[in-house]
Every structure is written in structure tokens, then in C-alpha cells.
Amino acid sequence: MTARPGGRRRRVGVMGGTFDPIHHGHLVAASEVQAWFDLDEVLFVPTGDPWQKSDRDVSPAEDRYLMTVIATAANPRFNVSRVDIDRDGPTYTIDTLRDLRASHPDADLYFITGADALADIFTWRDAEELFSLAQFVGCTRPGYEMDAQTLAAIPADRVTMVEIPALAISSSDCRDRKRRGEPVWYLVPDGVVQYVAKHDLYPQQTPRRTADHPEPDLTHDLSGAP
């Protein structure tokens, strides 16, 4: 079904990400954008081979896919796509949108991303074509302001900024907490917490911080983009 009653075209949100792991910030952002634009569906698209994360280890694609399925299962508007995982080679947004445009020819696509990532959009592959394939939604933290020069260069009718309070959560912080032996309950969905523990995705590397031992061991490099 490609059109809603009254003739309006279907609106499909596309939320790409490494999801290593997926957390409540992702889910709240998707839910807020879904409601704001009255989207019929939000497709979560875990990256297959994230070229921009080549400086750190990334969990296997199947693990990230399954965590995303677990996290989104309770919301009937949310679905998970394998389009990037099943494509060979590095994952580029242009390929994601071309494939989804081909599979959803009669729907309007809304690509949901962080405002900080959107600020770098002109460094993405085939950037000029991106705006012809989808409407872009930049999710911002409260108080965030995009660089004026970048904002001026982006087609105003193809980008909307939406403030999401829950974006203070990051995947990198969740990974680091697990590696320090600290809890991630209520930062990520319960089922994802259990999946991470079962598959030992982010094994503890430093002593857990406690009242008796407040200073973490910083000998390990725990850096990494969300």
C-alpha cells in the first residue's frame, strides 16, 4: 500500500546508524520525528560496514541488527531494514537512499540523522544528490546551533531541525560504561542490555568505579564516535 486515505503519499522515516548499541536516545528521536511528520513507518537501518568508524572496532553487523530488532519490536510504527547489512562494501548514505527509493517508489522518504552529522553532509559521497532522494531531519540537543555557513548552504525546503531532549545519551558512552563495569540499564532497552550481556559485546576492561575507588583506570583507549 503506497498511499493513505485521501490520497496522501506514504511517509517513511529512515534512521540510519551503527547502533552499537542502539539506545533510548535513538528510539525517542525516531518517535518524536514520527509524530512530528505523521510518518507511516520508521525504518531503522543498521550500517553494514561504516566507513567513518574505521578507527575503532565495531560489533558484528548481525549483532547490531538483532539488537535493533529487539529494541524496536514493541512499536508497530518501527521496522528494521537489512538493506545496508546485505550490501557488500562500505556503507554510504547515498546507496541506502537509492536502494530505499527503488523499493519505495511511491513514498516520501525522511532521513533522520543527528544535527552534528548533518553539519558534515557536504563531505558525504554524492552529497548533491541526497536532497533529491529524501527530506532530511536533523535531530538536535537543546541549545545546539548549526554553523551558519553550513546551514545556509543546505536547501531550506529539504531540511528540518527537530530538538530532542533525550539526545544526551550516546552509544559511545554506553560502550564505555560497559567496559568500566558500570550499568547501562535505562540507557538502552532491557532486551538490548540482556543481549549485550549474553554475547559479551563490550567486555569489561577497567575496574568499576565505586565510592571506594572513584578514579577509573585510563590506560585503555575507549574513544569512539556514537
> What's the pLDDT tens digit per position in 51-97?
766 667 899 999 999 999 999 999 999 999 999 999 999 999 999 99
Question: Does 189 have pLDDT greater than 60?
Answer: yes
Question: Does 216 have pLDDT greater than 70?
Answer: no
Where does the pLDDT of residue 6 fall: very low under 50, low under 70, confident under 90, or very high at 90 and above?
Answer: low
205 or 70, higher pLDDT: 70
pLDDT of residue 54: 64
* pLDDT averaged over every residue in the chain: 88
pLDDT of residue 224: 34
State the amino acid at position 136 in one-letter form.
F
Average pLDDT rounded to a whole number, residues 26-41: 96
Domains belonging to the chain, first-starting first, are 10-167 (3.40.50.620)
Strand partners, 46: 17
> What's the pLDDT tens digit per position in 103-144?
999 999 999 999 888 888 989 999 989 999 999 999 998 778
Which residue, 96, 151, 155, 161, is CA-closest to 126?
96
Write out the H or E segment, with its range, that includes residue 136. Answer: strand 135-140
Where does the pLDDT of residue 212 fall: very low under 50, low under 70, confident under 90, or very high at 90 and above?
Answer: low
Q: Are 52 and 16 in contact (CB under 8 A)?
A: no
What one-character DSSP code corresponds to residue 48? S
Coil/strand/helix, residue 113 = strand
Question: Does 161 have pLDDT greater than 60?
Answer: yes
Q: Residues with Cβ < 8 Å from 135, sequence gap 6 or more?
A: 108, 109, 110, 111, 158, 159, 160
Question: Does 159 have pLDDT greater than 70?
Answer: yes
State the amino acid at position 126 in one-letter form.
D
- The gap from C-alpha 152 to its chain's centroid, in whole angstroms, comes to 25
